[in-house]
Amino acid sequence: MAEPDPDTISSGAGQRLGAPETLGISTLDPGHRPPAMPPGRHVTIRVRMLDDTEELFDISQKASGKVLFDLVCSHMNLIEGDYFGLEFQNQQKMMVWLDHIKPIIKQLRRPKHTILRFSVKFFPPDHAQLLEELTRYLFALQIKQDLYCGRLTCNDTSAALMVSYIIQSEIGDFEESQCRSHLLNNNYIPDQMPLIDKIMEFHSKNIGQTPAESDYHLLEVARRLEMYGIRLHPAKDREGTKLSLTVAHTGVLVFQGHTKINAFNWSKVRKLSFKRKRFLIKLRPDLNSSCQDTLEFLMPSRDCCKVFWKICVEYHAFFRLFEEPKPKPKPVLFSRGSSFRFSGRTQKQVIEYVRESEFKKIPFERVLRSCSVQQSVGECKCSQSCLTLPCIVVSSHYGHLWLRAGVVSNSPHLSASSGHSHGMVNGQKSLELCSHSPDGRLPSPLTSPLLNDACSVRTDDEDEVRRKRFPTDRAYFIAKELLTTERTYVKDLEVVTSFQSAVGQDEATPDSLKDAIFSTFEPLHKFHTGFLREVEQRLALWEGRSNAHIKGDYQRIGDVLLKNLQGLKPLTANLSKQSEILLELEKACKASRRLEGLCRDFELQKVCYIPLNVFILRPLHRLIHYKQILERLCKHYPATHVDFRDCRAALADVSEVVDQLQGSLIKMENLQKLLELKKDLIGVDNLVVPGREFIRLGCLSKLSGKGLQQRMFFLFNDVILYTSRGMTATNQFKVHGQLPLHGMTIRESEDEWGVPHAFTLVGQQQSVVVAASSLVEMEKWMEDVKMAIEMAKTSNGPSSELLTSSLTDNKDSSVEAESEDDMTAPHASLEKPTPHRGNTMVHVCWHRNTSVSMVDFSIAVENQLSGNLLRKFKNSNGWQKLWVVFTNFSLFFYKSHQDDYPLASLPLLGYSVTVPSESENIHKDYVFKLHFKSHVYYFRSESEYTFERWMEVIRSATVPSSRARGLNGKETHA
């Protein structure tokens, strides 16, 4: 529609024309101070927080709204501030949001007499997208306000249930007289008296819930209500019927009273504009019609119309765009329409930043209304739930001491690394720990490791002494790799033998399973303990710790390898039956909940740093490592070398065994991966069936009526599953639907939908549009899906139904369409879910927005390495000596090789490994650099050989493998 004064929604502009490129800083950028205050007269501005306290901020009148907003977020240590805004009443008595780009003096006519309210501005569809407890607490306060003022309407059951969660977080566990007295003295909803008994009944079932868990359940109920996050704007249709318009993450909604009568999803809206009092929605042409449909609504005034249009612009940009839109070029002569543009991070950028950020805040602390906390370092007596605590509150979790004022750690293992700059919290360095998070859940797999400086820092003098003292021959370093990796392997065998001891004493464990594990791993552990001792003795002689090396008899390793590999042959006979152990363990866990609990508890121990069933396949993988080491020795030695003949004979022996087991290894790796994925998925039956092969898992954005939503996709040789992850203690992924591969086609659709790296999966019953994070990711997915489709044409594949009956034929959108009554049953929200390991590749792919194929997994088991490295952070001075194990696409950090479990880990998916440039001033030999976004780590190895090996194995995890893609990974799917 060509109109003289249209104001249209635009995805191509990001800030007001002519404005400076950046004003202020993002609330998410750690370690930065707020921008310098512009010169001019200062004014004190009052901001009312969500807990109804008021704070004063001194600011220049010429400062932008963004500067004030950043000060407010900084005051609260709020990272996810982009969901919030400051609203105030303008001259027309309308509530409007403070513009981040405009100077404050142009927005507030009487700043001294204006109270700004800090409120939630953008309500996401799922509070699992809120990654910080403080953010969820603020959302809970907003829900509490909306309930109290009657804005969030719902039935009595939902209202009572939500109030029960609110008072659980405020006064703690149920005590009848205290609860009744509290409800008589405090109103949470209009007309509360008739519901007091029902509220108390619900509250009595919340026993044991922490305030954070109560917030979670409150938001879980609220987000399913039709009026959740709704701010009504009065309007009329063409017939004069009184209506209300509102905007949500899905699009523009139309209400009559408190009933939604129409919805215009963003995918259907072509253009939003206004002309005077008229608000216009231009829809995309219907598939069955060539005409365009324009809907018109009449609002009370042009100002009302523009205020609502601005909110629509911001909601559309925040929830629908990948990144902050770029500004349009400034017109040469004149401009038409409003110059208002969305400025700020999109939701996708917020989520990515917080997940990947090294900035970890001090845990958010609250004090219950009835609390009286006294500690040796301070005292806190509060009458209500505190948002910011002026006093010291101590929280001790898993051996770590957290202080709100003054960051202290009493952990014997972990502390802030000297000179390594993380985020600043009120001018103090934040502390990032590598153990459990303060809420008891496992930390994000992206937690950057920080270890104690007590791990020795090597000096340059020590380096020089070491170079002169130890051998420099390449064969020595190859032999040393055998030693370091054997140390890790023996530790891994000890994990399985300790598991056998843990479950072997329980009656729930079948005797056949006990015998299978014992007969396989006890002899292996005993043998390799002796083998390791021999290798250690040989290396000690080779290094010259006695005079024996002068004769030259001990500067070789082939004789030790040949003798022990021949002794190992009888023990490898049972290795082809490893799949039977995996299946029997799975079967026994199904038959006994007690055994299942024992296995789960063992797997959550720190010593079990990777999934348990990966340890069970370690003996097979170790044979491949012996073969690789011997190949490198044979390639290095001349045929005349004293060690060559023994190495060649040992290589022939181990190659024979590896070739015999190769076929069963491929099947066992696939079985292990299916069993691991089964633990990560909710809503799947019969995932592990004969004939099903895993191909790829990873993160894609799925296009629906609600816009692009992050989903986890799992590709098998017969079906594709798509899932989402809830913010629950289980860390599992809930299946939303399945796409059978039989009859499926795939096509690129970036131009069709205007979404970068998009492609469409066209099934016989359902089509799905998805977008990858990059062109490379899109190509990997399309290649594997096409291959799987071809496989499905020539193979019958598994015939069993995959999904549970409750999820069969489930549409992705229907998962969000539950009624508010679905959440009112207390048992649904009060069950204590069992904890689940959250550092598997599934979760790393979710956080890093990438994917991993079975080809990559197969190559990864061949590329494992252990040894000492020196590590340095980007802004630190000293080098930290660590024992580092590389396996399962991750680096695991220990203080020494004697440690039983790692202190920290660093998943490497998405990282790049390079050599530092001259400008980085790393004037040391054999240094490689790991880099991902703002994360930079430097590592020093001891020789050219070890440098090359670390670069090689890390590249196998950071660079998608293209070798053998034609064969599809050792003919895995042939």
Among 37-41, 202-206, 623-627, 853-857, the range scoring the smallest mean pLDDT is: 37-41
Q: Beta-carbon neighbour count of residue 781 at 10 Å?
A: 24
Can you give the pLDDT at residue 698?
A: 93
| Band of residue 376 on the pLDDT scale cut at 50, 70, 90 | very low
Can you give the pLDDT at residue 473?
A: 85
Would the pLDDT of 833 be above 80?
no
Range 127-223 has CATH code 1.20.80.10: yes
Report whether 948 contacts 941 (CB < 8 A): no
Share of residues in the chain with pLDDT > 90 (%): 35
Can you give the pLDDT at residue 751?
A: 78
| Band of residue 542 on the pLDDT scale cut at 50, 70, 90 | confident
Two domains, one topology: 233-324 and 681-794: yes
Average pLDDT (375-389) is: 34
Count Cβ atoms within 10 A of the Cβ of residue 91 and give its class: 0-12 exposed, 13-18 middle, 19 or more buried: exposed
| Band of residue 9 on the pLDDT scale cut at 50, 70, 90 | very low
Q: Which residue has the tokens 């039983």?
A: 900
Give me the DSSP letters along 28-47. Answer: T-TT-PPPPPPSS-EEEEEE
Per-residue pLDDT of 322-334, as tens digits, reads 766 555 555 444 4
- Distance, in Å, from the CA atom of 675 to the CA atom of 972, rounded to the nearest integer, reads 17
Average pLDDT (430-445) is: 36
**Interstrand relation of 733-740 and 681-682 (parallel, antiparallel or unpaired):** parallel
Can you give the pLDDT at residue 232?
A: 92
Can you give the pLDDT at residue 772?
A: 92
- Distance, in Å, from the CA atom of 553 to the CA atom of 559, rounded to the nearest integer, reads 11
Would the pLDDT of 684 be above 60?
yes
Handedness of CA 466, 471, 474, 478 (dihedral sign): negative
Domain 864-966 is in which class?
A: mainly beta
Share of residues in the chain with pLDDT > 70 (%): 74
| Band of residue 630 on the pLDDT scale cut at 50, 70, 90 | very high
Per-residue pLDDT of 925-943, as tens digits, reads 999 999 988 889 999 999 9
Phi first, then psi: give them for residue 96, nearest 5 degrees. Answer: -130, 160
Residue from 584, 470, 433 nearest 903 by CA: 433
Of 884 and 726, the structure prediction assigns the larger pLDDT to: 884
Second-level CATH architecture of 233-324: Roll (2.30)
User: In whole angstroms, what separates CA 23 from the centre of its chain?
Assistant: 30
Range 483-679 has CATH code 3.90.230.10: no
Can you give the pLDDT at residue 552?
A: 55
Residue ranges of alpha helices (H) inside 77-189 are 133-148, 156-171, 176-185
Of 829 and 618, the structure prediction assigns the larger pLDDT to: 618
Can you give the pLDDT at residue 89?
A: 87
| Band of residue 425 on the pLDDT scale cut at 50, 70, 90 | very low
- Distance, in Å, from the CA atom of 214 to the CA atom of 222, rounded to the nearest integer, reads 12
Classified as helix, coil or strand, 729 is: coil
Residue from 21, 14, 136, 22 nearest 79 by CA: 136
Handedness of CA 746, 751, 752, 754 (dihedral sign): positive
Partners of residue 246 on adjacent β-strands: 253
User: CA of 855: how far to CAs of 258, 622, 662, in Å?
Assistant: 54, 18, 15
Would the pLDDT of 465 be above 90?
no
Among 70-74, 296-300, 569-573, the range scoring the smallest mean pLDDT is: 569-573
Per-residue pLDDT of 213-238, as tens digits, reads 899 999 999 999 999 999 999 999 88
Average pLDDT (936-965) is: 81
3-state SS, one letter per residue, for 171-212: HCCCCHHHHHHHHHHCCCCCCCHHHHHHHHHHHCCCCCCCHH
User: CA of 249: how far to CAs of 126, 537, 813, 946, in Å?
Assistant: 10, 66, 13, 52
Out of 370-374, 675-679, 872-876, the most confident range is 675-679
Can you give the pLDDT at residue 813?
A: 39
Can you give the pLDDT at residue 330?
A: 53
| Band of residue 820 on the pLDDT scale cut at 50, 70, 90 | very low
Partners of residue 425 on adjacent β-strands: 428
| Band of residue 709 on the pLDDT scale cut at 50, 70, 90 | confident
Q: DSSP class of residue 13?
A: -
Per-residue pLDDT of 257-282, as tens digits, reads 888 889 888 888 888 888 888 999 88
Can you give the pLDDT at residue 843?
A: 84
Would the pLDDT of 421 be above 60?
no
Would the pLDDT of 480 be above 70?
yes
Q: DSSP class of residue 36?
A: P
Would the pLDDT of 103 be above 50?
yes
Per-residue pLDDT of 589-610, as tens digits, reads 888 888 888 888 888 888 898 8
User: CA of 611: how far to CAs of 38, 46, 618, 832, 851, in Å?
Assistant: 55, 53, 12, 23, 19
Would the pLDDT of 1 be above 70?
no
Phi first, then psi: give them for residue 807, nearest 5 degrees. Answer: -110, -5
| Band of residue 965 on the pLDDT scale cut at 50, 70, 90 | very low
Among 245-254, 375-384, 585-594, the range scoring the smallest mean pLDDT is: 375-384
- Distance, in Å, from the CA atom of 351 to the CA atom of 124, rounded to the nearest integer, reads 11
| Band of residue 430 on the pLDDT scale cut at 50, 70, 90 | very low
Can you give the pLDDT at residue 165?
A: 95
Classified as helix, coil or strand, 735 is: strand
Would the pLDDT of 456 be above 80?
no
Partners of residue 913 on adjacent β-strands: 930
Handedness of CA 479, 481, 487, 490 (dihedral sign): negative
Domain 681-794 is in which class?
A: mainly beta
Can you give the pLDDT at residue 649?
A: 95
Among 529-533, 649-653, 827-831, 835-839, the range scoring the smallest mean pLDDT is: 827-831
Can you give the pLDDT at residue 547?
A: 53
Mean pLDDT of the chain: 77
Can you give the pLDDT at residue 699?
A: 93
- Enter the tokens of residue 321: 């765009």
**Interstrand relation of 890-894 and 880-887 (parallel, antiparallel or unpaired):** antiparallel
Can you give the pLDDT at residue 279?
A: 92
Can you give the pLDDT at residue 336?
A: 53
Can you give the pLDDT at residue 865?
A: 94
Report whether 497 contacts 525 (CB < 8 A): yes
CA atoms within 13 A on the CB side of 596: 12
| Band of residue 877 on the pLDDT scale cut at 50, 70, 90 | confident
Task: Give the DSSP H or E segment for 625.
Answer: helix 618-636
Per-residue pLDDT of 738-789, as tens digits, reads 999 988 999 988 877 778 899 999 988 888 999 998 899 999 999 999 999 9
Would the pLDDT of 946 be above 50?
yes
Report whether 250 contacts 320 (CB < 8 A): no
**Interstrand relation of 115-120 and 42-48 (parallel, antiparallel or unpaired):** parallel
Per-residue pLDDT of 26-67, as tens digits, reads 333 333 344 556 666 888 899 999 988 889 988 888 888 889
- Enter the tokens of residue 44: 């004190």
Would the pLDDT of 623 be above 90?
yes
- Distance, in Å, from the CA atom of 694 to the CA atom of 689, rounded to the nearest integer, reads 11
Can you give the pLDDT at residue 875?
A: 77
C-alpha torsion 222→226→231→235, nearest 10: -170
CA atoms within 13 A on the CB side of 969: 26
- Distance, in Å, from the CA atom of 60 to the CA atom of 43, rounded to the nearest integer, reads 6
Can you give the pLDDT at residue 208?
A: 87
3-state SS, one letter per residue, for 500-543: HHHHHCCCCCCHHHHHHHHHHHHHHHHHHHHHHHHHHHHHHHHC
Instruction: Tell me the Ramachandran region of residue 889: left when phi exceeds 0, alpha when psi lies from -120 to 50, beta otherwise.
Output: left
| Band of residue 117 on the pLDDT scale cut at 50, 70, 90 | very high
Would the pLDDT of 637 be above 90?
yes
Out of 8-22, 52-66, 465-479, 795-809, the most confident range is 52-66
Q: Where are the domains of the chain?
A: 127-223, 233-324, 483-679, 681-794, 864-966
